[in-house]
Amino acid sequence: MSQAPWLIVPAAGSGLRMGANRPKQYLRLAGRTVMWHTLQRLHSVFPEARLCLCLDPRDSCFEPDVVPFARWQRIAGGGERADSVLHALEWIAAEEGDEQALVLVHDVARPCVTAEDLMRLHDAVDADAVGGLLAAPVADTMKRDDGAGRVASTEQRAGLWHALTPQGFRLGLLRDALMDARRAGRGMTDEASAVEAMGLSPRLIPGRRDNIKITHPDDLALAEQILAAQASGPHTAAREESC
Ligand SMILES: Nc1ccn([C@@H]2O[C@H](COP(=O)(O)OP(=O)(O)OP(=O)(O)O)[C@@H](O)[C@H]2O)c(=O)n1
Ligand SMILES: C[C@](O)(CO)[C@H](O)COP(=O)(O)O
C-alpha cells in the first residue's frame, strides 16, 4: 500500500431518524457501540492512517478509548454532514503540505464495511485522476412519489447506483469542491456530488450491499445480522446444493 491515507469519519450527527435516546453512533451493536465497530473496521486496514473524527461539540457520549488509531484528531462537527467534512479538510490542509494527499471519508454509521471493500476502494481511488466511491447497483424497481403517498412515476433503474462510503479524493480537490458547494448554497449529501458539480466524474467502485448506513430503527437489527453473517465466513449461492 502507498502512503497511508487520511481518514475522515463524520460522526457529529444526532440520529433524528433513528429516534433513540442518544445519537445512533453510540447505540449498542454486537456487544459494542456502532462507532467502535466502524473505527475497528477502518483500523484493521489502515492502522497507520491519521484519523479526523468529526464530533458534535456538545457530544457527551464520546469516550476517547474507543479510538484505536495512534494518530487522531477530534474535529468540531458542523450543521450538516458536508460542513463536518469541510471542517476536517480545513484542519488537514493546515497540517498537510501535500494537496495531493489522499483522503477517504467514511460514515460512522456504516459499521459493516469489509476490509476487502476498503482495500479495493483505496487502491482504485489512489490510482484514479479524479477519485471515486463505493457504490452498489440498484436492484429494486424505484418509484417516485407524488407527495401524497401515491406513485407519480417509475424511475429508470438501469445505471442507477446507491452511493456508499468510503468516498476518496485528493485533499485539495475535495476541499475546493466542498467550498464551492458551500459558496453556491448547494446542499451536498455526499462528497462525490460536490466533485461532480465541478464537472468531474468520480469512479463508481462496486461494493457490497451489506455496507448499510444505520439510519432507521430496524437497521440496527439488520446490522447485527450482517456482522454475524460476515463473521461466519463468505456465503455464495454456488456452494448450496441444487434443489
Ligand atoms: N452535521 C452532521 C450530520 C451528520 N454527520 C454524520 O454523517 C453521517 C451520515 O449522516 P446521517 O446518516 O444522516 O446521520 P444523522 O445526521 O445522525 O442522522 P439523521 O439525519 O437521521 O439525524 C453520520 O455518520 C453522521 O454522524 C456529521 O458528521 N455531521
Ligand atoms: C454519504 C452517504 O452515506 C452516501 O449514501 C449519504 O449521502 C449520507 O446521507 P445522510 O442523509 O447524511 O445520511
pLDDT band for position 234 (50/70/90)?
A: confident
Cβ of 22 below 6 Å from ligand 1: no
Residue 236: predicted pLDDT:
65
The pLDDT of 71-100, averaged and rounded, is 96
pLDDT for 153 beyond 80: yes
Q: What is the mean pLDDT of the chain?
A: 96
What backbone phi and psi angles, to 5 degrees, belong to 55?
-130, 145
**Alpha carbon nearest to ligand 2 atom 3, residue:** 164
- In angstroms, the Cα distances linking 51 to 17, 70, 80, 214 are 27, 9, 20, 21
Query: Residue 34 class from Cβ within 10 Å (0-12 exposed, 13-18 middle, 19+ buried)?
Result: buried
3-state secondary structure of 72: strand
pLDDT for 1 beyond 60: no
Atom of ligand 2 nearest to the CA of 215: 13
Give this complex's ipTM.
0.98
Distance CA 42, CA 53 (A): 12
Q: Where are the domains of the chain?
A: 6-232
pLDDT for 237 beyond 90: no
pLDDT for 206 beyond 60: yes
Distance CA 11, CA 73 (A): 13
C-alpha cell at 216: 432507521
Residue 241: predicted pLDDT:
84
pLDDT for 146 beyond 70: yes
Counting ligands in written order, which one lies closest to the CA of residue 8? 1
Cβ of 81 below 6 Å from ligand 2: yes
Q: How far is the CA of 55 from the centre of ligand 1 (A)?
A: 10
Rg (CA), the chain: 18
Residue 54: predicted pLDDT:
98
Cβ of 25 below 6 Å from ligand 2: no
> How many other CB atoms are found less than 10 A from the CB of residue 86?
25
Q: How far is the CA of 107 from the centre of ligand 2 (A)?
A: 8
The pLDDT of 204-224, averaged and rounded, is 98
CB 23 within 8 A of CB 13: yes
Residue 174: predicted pLDDT:
98
Counting ligands in written order, which one lies closest to the CA of residue 83? 1
Q: How far is the CA of 2 from the centre of ligand 1 (A)?
A: 30
**Alpha carbon nearest to ligand 2 atom 9, residue:** 189
Residue 125: predicted pLDDT:
98
The pLDDT of 44-59, averaged and rounded, is 98
The pLDDT of 7-23, averaged and rounded, is 97
Residue 118: predicted pLDDT:
98
Q: How far is the CA of 23 from the centre of ligand 1 (A)?
A: 9
Q: Which of 39, 81, 108, 133, when mutated, tests ligand 1's pocket best, judged by the most ligand atoms within 8 Å of its CB?
A: 81
pLDDT for 11 beyond 80: yes
Q: How far is the CA of 243 from the centre of ligand 1 (A)?
A: 44
Q: Please, what is the end-to-end C-alpha distance for the chain in angstroms?
A: 44
Superfamily of domain 6-232: Spore Coat Polysaccharide Biosynthesis Protein SpsA; Chain A (3.90.550.10)
The pLDDT of 186-192, averaged and rounded, is 95
**Alpha carbon nearest to ligand 2 atom 11, residue:** 189
Question: pLDDT > 90: what percent of the chain?
Answer: 93
pLDDT band for position 242 (50/70/90)?
A: confident
pLDDT band for position 223 (50/70/90)?
A: very high
Atom of ligand 2 nearest to the CA of 191: 1
The pLDDT of 174-203, averaged and rounded, is 97
